[in-house]
Every structure is written in structure tokens, then in C-alpha cells.
Amino acid sequence: KKQDKVMLENSLRLRVIGEREGIPARARRELERLEKLTAQGERMTILLALNYSGREEIVHACREIVRQNLLRSDEIDEETITKFLYTAGIPDPDLLIRTSGEMRISNFLLWQMAYTELWITPVLWPDFRKIHFLEAVLEYQRRERRFGGLGSN
């Protein structure tokens, strides 16, 4: 398949996040096939969020910790929860580009976005182009990342 060749030639890895049970079986099988095929991709990871809720992801992680009976409750910390998220092993996002002027994150990557920079544009997603992406990146490069600290000023 054409997408297989592109993914492999560019060393891309596909990861699907979200509740897979809500995805039709045929589509789910194809996504699982692509995930296995691209598992060794190292250049870039593409996260495809389907049937995804940030709150549900956190609940899922907590339930999985309890189900596996790995730790006592006083041993559970941020690192533990992070290991059980759908995005385990993937760095938190540096930048979220929000289209349509929406001033909210809409239940998306709630845990992972603690220190993510936001760039909001009034441009609607269907109209979003390379120039808008470049504007976001340039703006991001001018920012001072503080990760919860006070910064240098």
C-alpha cells in the first residue's frame, strides 16, 4: 500500500490513542496493522487521536494501575501515572496550535499539556496552511519556556 511505503521510507511511527472499542472492527484492524508495521520508526511519531478523551485517558491509567495491583496507593506518583497513559514513552507536546480562535483545550491531552505552549489562530482548520504553521513555529521560537518557573525577567 502507498501509505506503508511512505511511512517506512520516512521512518515514521503511527500511534493511535483513545478507546479503540468504539472504532469499527475493519478500521481498527487496519490501524493495528499500521502500528505494528511502523513500530520501529524513529524519525517522527504520528499520534492519531480517535474516540479520545483526556479525562478518560487519566481514568484509564488509574484503573490500569489498580488492575495490575503493582503499587500501594502511597507509591503512586506523577511518573507512575505517566507510564500508564496512552502516550507513554512519547514526550509531552511543546506546542498546541488551536484553530478557529477557540480559547480552550477541549479535553485534549490534559495530563500532557501542563507546560505546553498554546498558539491560537482565528483561521479555521480547513483553511489552515503551511504559512499558518510557520507563523506558529516562529512565534513559539520567540517564547521563553519556563515550565512552571518564574523565568529570567
User: From the first residue on, what is the mean pLDDT of each consecutive set of 10 residues in the chain (153 residues)?
Assistant: 89 93 93 96 91 96 90 90 95 92 93 94 95 95 77 60
By CB atoms closer than 10 A (0-12, 13-18, 19+), residue 72 is exposed
Question: What is the pTM (predicted TM-score) of this model?
Answer: 0.80
Q: What is the pLDDT of residues 45-89, one digit of tens each?
A: 888 999 999 999 999 999 999 999 878 889 899 999 999 999 999
Q: Which residues contact 108 (CB under 8 A, 6 or more apart)?
A: 49, 52, 54, 96
Helices (H), 20-144: 25-37, 54-68, 78-83, 130-142
DSSP track, 78-105: HHHHHHTSTTTTSPPPSEEEE-TT--S-
Whose CA is closest to 112, among 34, 150, 62, 57? Answer: 57
